[in-house]
Structures are given as structure tokens and as C-alpha cells.
Amino acid sequence: MNNNQIKIRKIRIKDLDEFARNSLNDPAFGDMAPISILRAKSQSKNPQAEPDDLALLVALHKNRCVGYHGLLPGLLKNKDSASKIYWLVTFYLDAKFRGKGYGKQLVTEIQNTNIDLVTTGITKAAAGVYRSSGFRPLGELPLYQLRPENAIVFNAVLQNLTVRQKTFISKTVNQLTEKLITAKTRQDSIISFQRDIKTINWMISNPWVVSRQEAQEDVKPYYFSRVRDLFKFIPLEIFAPDGKSRKGYLVLSISRKKNKAILKVLDFNFHDPKDIFIAGYFALKYAKDYRADRLEYPVALKTFLGDQTGLTHLVKRKKRLYLFYPRSNDSPLARLAEKIELTYGDSDTAFT
């Protein structure tokens, strides 16, 4: 290997946790860690992954890490069947090695493994590398941010919901019960990237980011966030006033960094579509309680959190680009691409 070449090392799911722990004392990763111990431990428990699935590519130059590219195994759901796809995540290259084709070399190495690839939530620089490597647009997911001017905004809206609040009760839980009628009912009739109760519970129990007070020993020179001033998931099961009849569930997250807080509406499902206002109610309630500067939510809550509450003037519409690269022209991803319904929790969005 000459001075201008890099060597690429591949790490699979079954080896990921051990690799991350060993990297703490490995001189090759003293300046740049390719994955945190927290994230590696979580990904090793991914219910949509298999032990031999590829999880991480590490770029080494003179036996020093200069870049990496993560993969997150997932499933593309088509009614009663599912096929494996891989989300491209955590793409990073040392500034000294950018613009020399090394990033594209990492992506090409992934493409050569002959797997269906999808990515979203990416930077413009990463998108440029993917596009130059043959990735095509899969679509753009609309999402919304409510940006309150002050807490008075939340107080006024919540007061107007007091009557409707009496139609349900909630319980904060550590895990969603498998007995819930989940989004699977809806997924049976649409084509989407699978996100079921088991996947949601995996996320809740194995976070990639933790609050500062909960942080333990981990790698230090890691580009992607693993510790914030506050980070927590808020899983809620919703019942009728009798406390027995289940109405559905809701999962929120709250994150605070440098005095800026954002609350996200991650997952929800209700037996009766009319109960979707419950997700909006708790989004506003917890945004008020945590003094959130941003409340981010999917398009399904657009009407409630904008029009019905009179807060439209405080809402900003955003878009999230998806790119994809099918392993062949007749792979499931290639055949179903135009029919896939994109959702807010796709890829690693909900973890971060």
C-alpha cells in the first residue's frame, strides 16, 4: 500500500460490540473512533439484523483510522413478505482525505457487496458522493417543525383541549406491550420500511444517545453525538377512561444541547383514527413541560398541530431526501421503489 492508498476493514454485526470495546485501547483509533460502544451494543441487538450482516466499514491509512461508513440492516415490507435492505448511516472522512476519492471508495466497497441500499438524513457533501456513485432519488419525506415564541402558546392550546382530555388516560411504560394492535395492521396494506413494536422496543431499550449524567466510559474522538445535556424516550400507552380498553400508543423523544431543546413525535398508532389528536395533545404537553424550542412531527399531525390549534403561523415545513441503490434491476427495492411509503422513523432518525 503506497502513501496515497487506504485499506478498508469490514466489521459484521456479530463482531461489532467486541470491535468497539477493543477500539478503546487500539492506537489505530486514538484520533478517530469509527463507532461508539453505546451504538455498537445497540446495533448488535437489532431485531432486523442477522449476525453476518455488514455493519461498518473502516478506512485505514498507515494503520490509522481516517474515515468510516456505517450500515444499519432493515426490512422492506410488502404486505405479507419482507426483504433485507441496508440503511447507509454515519459517513465520515477526515478533512485531510476529502476530495481525493476515498469517500467514493468506501461507498463503492459497500455497493460491491451486492445488497439493496437506502439512505436519508444526509449532508449535501454525502449526497454528492452517493449521487456520483449511481444513487438515485427515492423521494422526499415532508415533516414539520412548530417553533413556539413562548410557553404561553402551549398553555392556550392545551386549555382548549381539556374537554377532549377526559376521553383517555395514559401510562408511561418502559416497553410497549406486544398485545397492542400496532402499525402492522396498516403496514399489511402498504409498502414501507418495516417499523413494528419489536423494533420500537429495541430503540427504547438500547439508545444511541444518552443524557450526560447517564454516560459511562466510551470512545472519545467520535464525530456523531452520543451524549447530550438531556436525552430520553417517552413511551406512552393510551387507554379509555376505564383504564382497561386500549386506544393505542405514542413514543416521543426529548433532546437538549446547549440550552436548545427539541421534542420529536416518533411513533404512534391508534385503533380509532379520530384519536390522533391524543398524539398532538401529548406533543404539546411535553413540549411545554420541557420548554422545547422546537416540536418536530410527521405529516400525519399536520392538520392537528397547525390548522386546528391555530398555530399555522409558527409551523415550518421541511423535507428529508432519500436516495437508493438497488443491487439489481429486479431486486425488491428496485421493483417496489415507486410504491414505497416513506415514514418519519425510517433509518436511524428516531435514535438521534
Mean pLDDT of 273-293: 91
Looking at the chain, the whole-number percentage of residues with pLDDT higher than 70 is: 91
Half-sphere exposure of 277 (CA within 13 A, CB side): 16
Mean pLDDT of 310-329: 92
Pick 142-319's CATH classification: 3.40.630, 2.40.70, 3.40.50, 1.20.930.
Answer: 3.40.630
- Residue 184's pLDDT band, with cuts at 50, 70 and 90, is very low
pTM of the shown model: 0.92
pLDDT per position as a tens digit, 220-231: 899 999 999 999
Query: What stretch(es) of the chain map to CATH 3.40.630.30?
Result: 7-138+321-344
Task: Return the DSSP state at 107.
Answer: H
- Residue 259's pLDDT band, with cuts at 50, 70 and 90, is confident
1 pLDDT higher than 60? no
Strands 64-78 and 294-298: unpaired
Mean pLDDT of 177-189: 59
187 pLDDT higher than 70? no
pLDDT per position as a tens digit, 193-209: 999 999 999 999 999 99
97 pLDDT higher than 90? yes
297 pLDDT higher than 90? yes
DSSP string, 146-191: E--SSHHHHHHHHHTTHHHHTT-EEEE-SS--TTS--THHHHTTSE
- pLDDT at res. 151: 60
- Of the given ranges (27-36, 181-190, 305-314), which has the lowest mean pLDDT? 181-190
Angle between helices 151-159 and 277-289 (to 10 degrees): 140
Q: Which residue has better confidence, 209 or 163?
A: 209
Can you tell me the distance from the alpha carbon of 35 to that of 41, in angstroms, rounded to the nearest whole number? 10
- pLDDT at res. 183: 44
Looking at the chain, the whole-number percentage of residues with pLDDT higher than 90 is: 78
Can you tell me the distance from the alpha carbon of 59 to that of 148, in angstroms, rounded to the nearest whole number? 43
Query: Is the torsion defined by CA of 109, 110, 111, 114 positive or negative?
Result: positive
- pLDDT at res. 154: 72
How confident is the prediction for the chain on average, in pLDDT?
A: 91
Mean pLDDT of 255-261: 93
Mean pLDDT of 330-350: 96
- Residue 149's pLDDT band, with cuts at 50, 70 and 90, is low
Report for 133-142, 178-187, 279-288: range of highest mean pLDDT: 133-142
pLDDT per position as a tens digit, 102-143: 999 999 999 999 999 999 999 999 999 999 999 999 999 999
- Residue 166's pLDDT band, with cuts at 50, 70 and 90, is confident
Q: Topology of domain 7-138+321-344, per CATH?
A: Aminopeptidase (3.40.630)
Q: Are 194 and 75 in contact (CB under 8 A)?
A: yes
Q: Please, which residues bridge with residue 68 across strands?
A: 58, 92
- Residue 313's pLDDT band, with cuts at 50, 70 and 90, is confident
